[in-house]
């Protein structure tokens, strides 16, 4: 029988030097998959272990370091099992308490052992004490470190020692030669990359900890600049690739578009006309449009999309209009039918709630090309949906779709070497710094004025204690002929959050206001029932609509002049602004009442103050960026855009401006360096930047 060969010892992959196989999963959990990831795993904070304080004069309440000899160590059981160690230096004595300890820690603390302790001294059960300090056994002549000690972000089971060891191994291995030309660095007064990274991992004691931890030190500025440049370069490379792709050139006389305009009961605003001109110019080119149309709630983005649709249809192509919720998609379907059906165009509806017969008819109309426009939800990019010739994809509230979902819809129209044009719409205004960064490869059109005749919305902050007054305001509004919304955050009771529910609120308000016709809509209603309720509200057959945030987008009822938002302190700024935009869509004076419950956290108080003081969505979005950061605001974790780890778009505007300029210089004069820079920072993730 052949002798079994001993298995070769498992080795760390070449990407992670110095990491034992048993720890690979823990490094993976931190997103550390290759050597440069470890190099960029920068410290959260630093501890100064270069100084030893006498026990008698060591500062209390902050991390400090002392050194002494163990006098005795004893396991005590009161008030709970713990190892109590007395340590003495030439000035005084103190106690160390270890509540959860291992046998090797007990050996470390044998009487007569000299130890160096790092932790906080405070008054405790046994007098001056440290609880669970870092303990290091030393000799009388053990030197002090000559550098600050970095403290890294970590995960359960991964020690600071293991991280430091991996960092040092990666620093020794990685090529940290610069990818930025020397004149650029000289002009900005920033250090070379290798100098910056080594200083952040291993700072000398004379570097101000405050500047390191606040990320204002020049070394941090260099890291943030490099990250922003990588993003800008990758966006521009993506745009170059897109510009080599073919799309149908949608050029026509515009007679269908003119007929649509002639039939409208309103005139376009200057901002709408400007956005239309930008979109039509893109559609006429043989490269795929990728344009973001953004505008505040009620600014009239949908008619602009309909005019682009008319251009595509007149050119012989079909259009897909996709929205993230059934209510929003149904609103689009109704609008597009209202505008396009009189022009002889068939607009079909596709959603997961369609019956089998209706679905077959809709799919056939799309596949044969009889339907010029298909409007729907995620159902539009399912496998069984086949367009005869898709020329334009319109995606509303695009940040709510994942990157692969948007790609799937685009690929529905891929024919030979051609792909359809793409128009994305968002009623969540993007602050300028976000547009400069995350949408650097897109063209952006902004509708920055509201249609004439819209009344300003008055926002009121009202405590839950005045609920009866709010109910009376609702009754008065409806009796006078208006309509109102009452928005609740949850459908069912939650013991943790103790929030009012739509179902219970509907029952309570129906009993309190018996003369009003009160409707109810939420996300768990069957689609047909939901559509019936919304149609009744729009027709004026319901006075007060109790709803969850399912009505956040897409609902257009000009007669609704009052909105009450329950537990407004629990909602984000963008959501509050979107909800508020459901009223004020007619000429009558409108109001939004934000009901809040005490006590308010500082963050909740800040959000309510911002939405109370501002009605401009761009101002609100900028404030939201400061409060929440770009990831949540954009839904960027869904979008495929690699998140910024170090740069702060609310604070680092000057660096972003510099990064945009440097990215252009690199791509023009140093293309090989530009690609190396992007690859170093993004490690292949740039392929999902924007589809």
Do 427 and 544 belong together in one domain? Answer: no
Report pLDDT for 620.
83
360 plus 479 within the same structural domain: no
Instruction: Tell me the longest C-alpha to C-alpha distance in the chain.
Output: 97
Is 326 domain-assigned?
yes
CATH code of the domain containing 360: 3.40.50.300
pLDDT at residue number 637: 42
For residue 356, the surrounding DSSP H or E stretch is: helix 356-368
Is residue 663 one of the residues assigned to a domain? no
| DSSP SS3 for 625 | helix
Residue 420 lies in a domain: yes
If asked whether residues 532 and 586 sit together in one domain, one would say yes
Specify burial of residue 222 (Cβ count, 10 A radius: 0-12, 13-18, 19+).
buried
Together in a domain, 325 and 428: yes
- Listed in sequence order, the residues at least 6 apart from 687 whose beta carbon sits closer than 8 Å to its beta carbon are none
Of 585, 614, 643, which marks where a domain is finished?
Answer: 614
- Rounded to whole angstroms, the Cα distance separating 26 from 424 reads 39
CA atoms within a 13 Å half-sphere pointing along the CA-CB vector of 635: 15
CATH number of 111's domain: 2.40.50.140
Last residue within a domain, chosen from 580, 614, 648: 614
What is each CA distance from 92 to 87, 135, 137, 650, 664, in whole angstroms? 9, 18, 19, 49, 63
Alpha-carbon dihedral sign for residues 336, 338, 344, 348: positive
Domain identity same for 466 and 357:
no
What is the DSSP track for 189-256? T---HHHHHHHHHS--TTS-HHHHHTT-SHHHHHHHHHHHHHHHHHHHHHHHHHHTSB--------HH
Tell me, yes or no, whether 519 and 429 share the same domain. Answer: no
pTM for this predicted structure: 0.70
C-alpha separations of 661 from 44, 372, 541, 646 in Å: 30, 43, 57, 19
Q: Are residues 321 and 360 in the same domain?
A: yes
In this structure, the answer to whether residues 399 and 509 fall within a common structural domain is no
Give domain status of residue 687, yes or no: no
Average pLDDT by stretches of 10, the chain with 691 residues: 43 66 90 90 92 94 94 89 94 93 90 96 87 93 92 91 93 92 88 96 90 93 94 85 87 91 91 96 93 85 95 95 83 91 94 84 93 89 84 78 51 68 83 72 83 81 93 95 88 52 88 93 80 88 88 72 92 84 83 92 90 85 72 47 73 89 93 91 56 35
Long-range contacts of 76-84 (CB under 8 A, 24+ apart): 79/125, 83/109, 84/126
Domain for residue 379, yes or no? yes
- pLDDT of res. 192: 95
Looking at the structure, do residues 387 and 466 belong to the same domain, yes or no? no
User: Which of 353, 352, 350, 351 is closest to 364 using CA atoms?
Assistant: 350
pLDDT in the model for residue 691: 35
Residue-range definition of the domain harbouring residue 63: 51-144
Give the end of a domain, one of 144, 162, 183: 144
Instruction: Work out how many domains the chain is built from and give that number.
Output: 3
Stretch (H or E) spanning 72: strand 63-76
259 with 406, same domain: the answer is yes
Same domain, 464 and 417: no
- Report which secondary-structure segment, H or E, holds 339: helix 326-340
Q: What is the pLDDT of residue 351?
A: 83
> Would residue 177 count as lying in a domain?
no
Are 310 and 413 within one domain? Answer: yes
In a domain, 306, yes or no: yes
Task: With respect to residue 167, please indicate whether it lies within any of the assigned structural domains.
Answer: no
């Amino acid at each position: 029988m052949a002798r079994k060969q001993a298995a070769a010892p498992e080795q760390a992959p070449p990407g992670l030097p110095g990491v034992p196989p048993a720890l690979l999963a823990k490094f993976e959990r931190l997103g550390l998959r290759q050597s440069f990831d470890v190099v960029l795993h920068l410290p959260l904070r630093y501890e100064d272990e270069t100084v030893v304080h006498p026990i008698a004069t060591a500062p209390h309440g902050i991390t400090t370091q002392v050194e002494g000899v163990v006098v005795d160590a004893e396991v005590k059981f009161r008030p709970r099992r713990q190892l109590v160690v007395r340590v003495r230096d030439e000035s005084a004595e103190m106690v160390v308490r270890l509540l959860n300890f291992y046998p090797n820690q007990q050996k470390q603390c044998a009487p007569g052992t000299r130890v160096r302790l790092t932790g906080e001294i405070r008054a405790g059960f046994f007098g001056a004490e440290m609880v669970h300090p870092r303990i290091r056994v030393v000799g009388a002549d053990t030197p002090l470190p000559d550098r600050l000690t970095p403290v890294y972000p970590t995960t359960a089971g991964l020690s600071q020692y293991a991280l430091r060891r991996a960092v040092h191994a990666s620093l020794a291995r990685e090529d940290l030669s610069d990818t930025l030309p020397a004149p650029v660095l000289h002009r900005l007064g920033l250090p070379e990359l290798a100098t910056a990274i080594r200083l952040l991992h291993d700072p000398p004691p004379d570097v101000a900890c405050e500047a390191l931890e606040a990320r204002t030190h020049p070394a941090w500025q260099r890291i943030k600049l490099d990250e922003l440049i990588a993003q800008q370069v990758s966006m521009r490379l993506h745009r170059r690739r897109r510009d080599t792709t073919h799309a149908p050139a949608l050029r026509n006389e515009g007679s269908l578009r003119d007929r649509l305009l002639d039939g409208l009961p309103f005139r376009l605003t200057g901002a709408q006309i400007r956005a239309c001109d930008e979109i039509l110019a893109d559609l006429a080119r043989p490269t795929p449009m990728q344009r973001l149309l953004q505008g505040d709630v009620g600014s009239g983005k949908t008619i602009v999309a309909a005019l682009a649709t008319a251009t595509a249809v007149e050119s012989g192509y079909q259009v897909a209009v996709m929205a993230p919720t059934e209510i929003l998609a149904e609103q689009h379907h109704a609008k597009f039918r209202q505008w396009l059906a009189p022009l002889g165009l068939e607009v079909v509806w596709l959603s997961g709630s369609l019956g089998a017969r209706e679905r077959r008819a809709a799919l056939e109309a799309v596949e044969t090309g009889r339907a010029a426009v298909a409007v729907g939800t995620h159902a539009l990019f399912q496998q069984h949906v086949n367009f005869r010739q898709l020329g334009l994809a319109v995606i509303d509230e695009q940040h709510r779709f994942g990157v692969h979902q948007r790609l799937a819809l685009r690929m529905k129209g891929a024919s030979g070497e051609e792909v359809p044009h793409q128009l994305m719409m968002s009623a969540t205004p993007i602050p300028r710094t976000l547009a400069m960064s995350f949408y650097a490869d897109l063209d952006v059109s902004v509708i920055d004025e509201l249609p004439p005749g819209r009344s300003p919305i008055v926002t009121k902050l009202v405590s839950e204690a005045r609920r009866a007054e709010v109910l009376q305001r609702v009754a008065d509004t409806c009796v006078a002929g208006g309509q109102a919304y009452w928005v609740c955050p949850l459908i069912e009771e939650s013991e943790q959050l103790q929030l009012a529910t739509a179902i219970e609120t509907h029952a309570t308000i129906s009993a309190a206001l018996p003369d009003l016709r009160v409707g109810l809509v939420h996300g768990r209603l069957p689609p047909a029932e939901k559509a019936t309720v919304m149609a009744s509200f729009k027709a004026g057959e319901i006075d007060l609509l109790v709803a969850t945030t399912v009505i956040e987008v897409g609902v257009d009822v000009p007669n609704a002049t009052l909105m009450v938002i329950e537990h407004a302190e629990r909602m984000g700024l963008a959501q509050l602004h979107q909800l508020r935009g459901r009223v004020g869509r007619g000429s009558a004076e409108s109001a939004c009442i934000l009901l809040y419950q005490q006590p308010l956290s500082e963050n909740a108080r800040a959000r309510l103050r911002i939405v109370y003081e501002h009605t401009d969505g761009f101002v609100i979005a900028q404030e939201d960026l400061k409060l929440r950061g770009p990831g949540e605001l954009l839904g960027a974790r869904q979008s495929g855009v690699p998140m910024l780890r170090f740069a702060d778009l609310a604070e680092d505007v000057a660096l972003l401006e510099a990064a945009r300029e440097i990215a252009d210089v690199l791509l023009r004069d140093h293309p090989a360096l530009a690609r190396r820079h992007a690859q170093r920072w993004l490690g292949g993730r740039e392929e999902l930047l924007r589809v």
